[in-house]
Amino acid sequence: MGIADHFPALIVVVLFAAAFLSPLLYRYAEKISAPFVIASLLLSLLMSIALLVQVQQFGPVFYHMGGWPPPWGIEFSADPIRVYILIVVTAVSLWIFLYALRDLKHELKKEVIGWYYTLYSILVGSMAGIALTNDLFNLFVLMEICAISACAIISIKEDRECLEASFKYLILSAMGTGCFLLGVAMIYMATGYLNYSFIQAALAEAIVHYPLNIFTAAALFIVAFGTKAALFPLHVWLPDAHASAPTPSSAMLSGLVIKIYAFALFLMFYHVFPRGMLTTIPLNEIILWMAALGTMFGSVYAMIQTDLKKMLAFSSIGQISYIFMGIGFHHDLALVGAFYHIMVHAITKALLFMTAGVIIYSTGVRKISDLAGIGRILPLTMLAFTIGSASMVGIPGTGGLISKWYLALSALEIGRPLFVLVILASSLLNAIYYMPIVINAFMHQEDFIHEVRPVPRYMLASLIVGMFFVIVTGFFSRPVVTLLEQAAILLF
């Protein structure tokens, strides 16, 4: 066995190893600690890309931990969609980390930065694990790791709001994980397996004998992942947590963490439950309606915010709903739209949080109404904000349009034009709260009144990278969409 065969496990292992080494390095060799984390993130990104090539050439890869075969041992599996998510996770977190290097010095105490690196690597590693694992209990463990490290990168700032928000997040996400564990127990009781593939095979028969167990498990999964991914009525923890956290954490949480749970729900729907189940029981219908409400209410709530980061956090609720909507449509084009939106929104929301971070760093302003005229002082930053908001609204030339296009198309394909209207109306609502900020920033008559300190080039460079990718996803979507189309068609 060559080293390439171990890539699925190595991606996670490298990140966890980096997590444990970085505080030591930070203590004794501070200069190389950040490059070390960057190197590990880059390494896992490269391995993910190599894995993609491998998967595309030779088909799905199954990796058995320690050589133990599946029903007993833990199995990692890599198919095109999982590897796609893996690449999005590693690439975006590498980019956010580059931004964080400069921002953290401003937001955190010096001695905890090494620990931040640890938490960050653990978080990325656990997300990579969630994307790859093929085992329910392993998923549970990784979800707990992910939740705890996510809480920790909020509360590491140690002010009152962060502590309160992360405590709330911790409790609610523990409730979610509890629901999930209960669901896993139900399924284990009915089938005797924890491996996805085995469960899927066994459930086809087990559902006849233990229908109540399986139904309850399905409901528990929806609530569990809905809570963790902030699906509309269960979103209550998100705004505080995402708005009060240090900026890189906000970008990470809004950009990637909530999406990985949406992806996990997708895995449950398509890889754990038997194929007929989605059509006979309205699981996707429930998701669909919650998501449709979420797109509306997320935007309505965002509209009345006065704090910039809070507005961005509420906007995430609306945007994650698009992804759930894509899962709920139960159609291959919709899945393409949803997965494309995972990438687009990860980039866009991270970009927007970064611009908010730059604005706070440079001027200390958080209130939206105080941003009037800021475009003339920080033109590049506000240009990034403009491009980001254009993508949120779905203006042509940005990635946001492509995902909405596919979602709308599939809504028409399944004969429900109502949801096209929902998508378009929510785009209009997005425009109503994003556009005034942009217009005020550039076109306000009076000058910006607050003190401004120069923005480090490092931060601006990350913003430029973000803008570049928002536009690239808008114009050159063909390769990714082809990949997703090929993968999605196999699921139906």
Write down the H helix ranges in 210-331.
Answer: 211-229, 238-244, 247-252, 258-267, 277-280, 283-303, 308-329
Spatial contact of 73 and 65, defined as CB atoms under 8 Å apart: yes
Q: Distance between CA 281 and CA 276 in Å, rounded? A: 9
Interface mask (CB under 8 A) for other proteins, residues 400-429, using x and -? -xx--x--xx--xx---x--xx--x--xx-
Neighbours of 361 (CB within 10 A): 18
Rg of the chain taking only CA atoms, in angstroms: 22
DSSP 307: B
- What gap in Å lies between CA 301 and CA 11, rounded to an integer? 39
Report the residue number, 38 or 395, with the smaller CB distance to other proteins.
395
The size of the chain, in residues, is 492
Residue 453: left if φ>0, alpha if ψ -120 to 50, beta else—which one?
A: beta
- DSSP strand pairing (61-64 vs 75-78): antiparallel
Cα–Cα–Cα angle for 350, 96, 315, rounded to 5 degrees: 15
Residue of 163, 300, 377, 452 that binds other proteins (CB under 8 A): 300
CB nearer to other proteins: give 110 or 367.
Answer: 367
Q: Which stretch binds other proteins (CB under 8 A): 90-98, 100-108, 115-123, 395-403?
A: 395-403
Q: How many residues bind other proteins (CB under 8 A)?
A: 66
Task: Please state the closest distance from residue 489 (CB atom) to other proteins, in A.
Answer: 17
Query: What is the closest distance, in whole angstroms, from the C-beta atom of residue 465 to other proteins in the complex?
Result: 20
Compute the least distance from the CB of residue 474 to other proteins, in Å: 6
Site string for other proteins, 155-184 (x = CB under 8 A): -------------x--xx--xx--x-----
CB closer to other proteins, 3 vs 304 = 304
Does 301 contact other proteins by CB under 8 A? yes
- 106 near other proteins, rule: CB under 8 A: no
Give residues 215-244 in contact with other proteins (rule: CB under 8 A). 215-216, 218-220, 222-223, 226-227, 233-234, 236-237, 239-240
Residue 153 contacts by C-beta under 8 Å, 6 or more apart in sequence? 116, 119, 120, 123, 245, 246, 249, 252, 253
Q: Is 149 in the site for other proteins (CB under 8 A)?
A: no
* Binding to other proteins, residues 429-448 (CB under 8 A): 431-432, 435-436, 439, 443-445
Q: Which is nearer to other proteins, 93 or 173 (CB)?
A: 173
Q: Contact between 380 and other proteins (CB under 8 A)?
A: no
Q: Please check whether residue 249 is in contact with residue 312, taking contact to mean a CB–CB distance below 8 angstroms.
A: no
CB of 245 to other proteins, least distance (A): 15
Q: Which helix (H) or strand (E) holds 61?
A: strand 61-64
Under the criterion CB under 8 A, does residue 280 sit at the interface with other proteins?
Answer: yes
CA distance 170 to 115: 19
Nearer to other proteins, 202 or 286 (CB): 286
Binding track, positions 109-128, relative to other proteins; x by CB under 8 A:
--------------------
* CA separation for the pair 140, 294 (Å, rounded): 26
Q: In the complex with other proteins, which residue's Cβ is closer, 138 or 227?
A: 227
The window from 92-100, 125-133, 209-217, 459-467 that contacts other proteins (CB under 8 A) reads 209-217
Secondary structure (3-state) at 71: coil
From the list 476, 489, 490, 492, which residue makes contact with other proteins (rule: CB under 8 A)?
476
| CA 311 – CA 368 distance, rounded (Å) | 9
Of the candidates 333, 204, 180, 338, which has an alpha carbon nearest to the alpha carbon of residue 277?
Answer: 204
What does the binding site for other proteins look like in residue numbers (CB under 8 A)?
168, 171-172, 175-176, 179, 211-212, 215-216, 218-220, 222-223, 226-227, 233-234, 236-237, 239-240, 280-283, 286, 297, 300-301, 304-306, 310, 393, 395-397, 401-402, 405, 408-409, 412-413, 417, 420-421, 424, 427-428, 431-432, 435-436, 439, 443-445, 474-478, 481
